[in-house]
Amino acid sequence: MESLDLTVQVSTKLNRSHVVVGREALILPCLGRTERDPAGLVTVEDSMGMVHLSHGRLKPASRELRSEVGIVCGLAEQLFPGDEIDWASMAADYRVVREHVASVVPGFEDFEERVRRPGGFALPHPPRDSRTFATGTGKARFTVNELALLQVPDGHLLLQTIRSHDQFNTTIYGLDDRYRGVKQGRRVVFVNPDDLSELGLGDGQTVDLVGPEGRTAEEFRIVAYPTARGCAAAYYPETNVLVPLDAVAKISNTPASKSIVVRLVTRDQ
């Protein structure tokens, strides 16, 4: 990132990603989804694959703020003058954006009408909707793969990295996690009470997390929590340092952030 001539970030709030930028950097503040938007209601997809309207109710932080759509459309107008696409109309009314989506994306036919129904609508899912499968036979294809079990040495735990409630991906909005009852702190590691007894450790104690190749995440407070025996959990990105760059899945290249063998080392060791 730092070798780039220019980086531009569209953001609702300052966060750590703004620290690592190019030689020249722009931060374009935009409306959040919870703020009132004069262009209308936006649509979102939830974790269940349902598309529904999102109502911003808060007063915008500034009258100068533009929406993310407004910023992108404004850039397009400057970059492509005389273009046949009416960028200004999309920035002014999100119903126009939905008209374009409905015309090109399968499953979004009658987008505007369906999204205004209570609860919105479900995205297409052929196996669920019609029991059809995009295979040569038209049937589901199952494969069996041998599982490679990870051997965790005695005195070690298998760590997974997780998000807190006040977090979206790697953007941290607060230090509380109402999911797990943690307040004003993120450098915590969740460990089963029985594992703590075996390791001679206690709730509230401060430890370093030592992972592969001696990688260390320092000063984490132990929180006794009903994780699976032999397993622990801690927030990322604070624990990203524990994951070697080459510890990835063979095909997807996904980091092995859910499967890190660690030791809990007390500060006086």
Task: Assign 3-class secondary structure to 44-69.
Answer: EECCCCEEEEECCCECCCCCCCECHH
Helices (H) and strands (E) in the chain, counts: 6, 13
% of residues, the chain, pLDDT over 70: 99
User: What are the phi and psi torsion angles at 114 (to 5°)?
Assistant: -75, -35
pLDDT of residue 240: 94
Residue by residue, DSSP assigns 198-255 as HHT--TT-EEEEE-GGG-EEEEEEEEE--PPTTEEEEETTTTGGGS-TT-B-TTT--B
Domain with CATH 2.40.40.20 in the chain: 157-266
CATH no. of 157-266: 2.40.40.20
Q: How far is CA 152 from the centre of its chain?
A: 28
Q: Find the mean pLDDT for residues 33-49.
A: 91
pLDDT at residue 68 tops 70: yes
pLDDT at residue 126 tops 80: yes
pLDDT grade, residue 3 (50/70/90)? very high
Structure confidence by residue, pLDDT tens digits, 214-233: 999 999 999 999 999 999 99
CA distances from 230 to 56, 67, 155, 190, 207 (A): 43, 46, 9, 11, 17
Structure confidence by residue, pLDDT tens digits, 182-198: 999 999 999 999 999 99
pLDDT of residue 269: 59
pLDDT at residue 210 tops 70: yes
pLDDT of residue 150: 85
pLDDT grade, residue 169 (50/70/90)? confident
pLDDT of residue 268: 66
pLDDT of residue 17: 86
At 159 the three-state DSSP class reads strand
